[in-house]
Amino acid sequence: MDFLIPEELKQLRESARRFVTEELLPLEPEYADKHDIPDDIRARLQARTKELGFWAFDLPEEYGGGGVGVLGMCLVFEELAQCNVPAFRAPSVFTPFLGPVLFHGNAEQKEKYLQPVIRGDKRTCFALTEASGGSDPTRMATRAVADGDEWVINGSKIFITHADKADFVQLFARTGGNGREGITCFLIDKGTPGMRLGQKFELMSPDRPWELVFDNARVPASHIVGEVGRGWDLAREFLGMGRLIHGPKAIGRAQRALKLAVDWANQRNTFGAPLASRQAIQWMIADSEVELHAARLMTYHTAWKADRGLPYHMEAAMVKLRCDEMMMKVVDRAIQIHGGMGLSRELPLEVMFRDARSRLITEGSQEMQRMIIASELLSGRSAIDRIGD
């Protein structure tokens, strides 16, 4: 086994680290608890990343991206996640929020939707979750009915990130069949009659997702991605990569929390001795480092499999499960080590704690990840046999 990170990816990681330190962290005091940054600041940062050659670093070269692969994406996201601003936790200053769905579109769809997003001219959102089903797509109630060369869509989606900023929506709706069969993916432009924003959700984290409502919204048949009734395959691919990306984001934020804890333990004196001399503190720091190391190796291995086109659905669920739980514990310990200051908004830990708690639910709850893993094992597909496959 070769555990060495390629030299070009090391250099990419170092460049991302400098960008975070010089360009992003100075913005943290003002925007740490905001759900977004102003469009002019986003545009300036995106222009800077394009100037430095970072923009769309993770996308395939054939589409104008950097082609660094999933491992390279994880290394950069790990650095970006150390900045405590929502826009950087969803790192839209380095690469567009895209997902894999649009790469399955036809030539016309790629020209109209994919390429503008890659250039940074358009933004999109992914609309799957519903109030009636949550993680269960078999209960999807949003329905699309064919009417000549159009489809008429009725229903609603909840917790849709970036819905207010999106120029078009990647929507999943039921077109027939039962369970996961009969789900179809549609591209719906902003301003389409019958589609509107509904409730804005105020969450414990700084993120502010939206409800999307569809009331007899009409969409041309040419806006279907892939085949009618095969949309779940596209959604599953999106969710798999989304769960994997939870890994580097959790690792980056936990790494920063641990550094804050170490620095505080070394400088803080209690009862005539450094806090770092207390065994209770040492063990919290040691446990955090062990859990971070394990989470990092799990994430990198899953990224390695994804880069080689190997199955990683089960591994992505394990990454999401373990890394998010690890982040929660590491941030919690860092707050405990800081004592009262850890609860203060003088430090980034309070926002990080709220963010960590929300991650245990987003992109599929921890219970859902355990169900996925158990299903694989009970079906005879043991993970130990898949390490090198």
Q: CA–CA separation, 302 vs 295, rounded Å?
A: 11
Q: CA–CA separation, 224 vs 172, rounded Å?
A: 10
Q: Where are the domains of the chain?
A: 7-98, 124-225, 233-385
Instruction: Specify the pLDDT at position 88.
Output: 56
What class does CATH assign to 124-225? mainly beta
pLDDT digits (tens, 9 = 90+) for 339-369: 999 999 889 999 999 999 999 998 889 999 9
Instruction: Reply yes or no on whether the pLDDT at 384 is more than 80.
Output: no
| Residue 189 burial (10 A CB sphere; 0-12, 13-18, 19+) | middle
Instruction: Reply yes or no on whether the pLDDT at 187 is more than 90.
Output: yes
pLDDT digits (tens, 9 = 90+) for 242-286: 999 999 999 999 999 999 999 999 999 999 999 999 999 999 999
Mean pLDDT of 153-170: 94
Which of 93-97, 156-160, 210-214 has the lowest average pLDDT? Answer: 93-97
Helix (H) or strand (E) holding 217: strand 210-220
Give the active site residues. 363
CATH number of 7-98: 1.10.540.10
Superfamily designation of domain 233-385: Butyryl-CoA Dehydrogenase, subunit A, domain 3 (1.20.140.10)
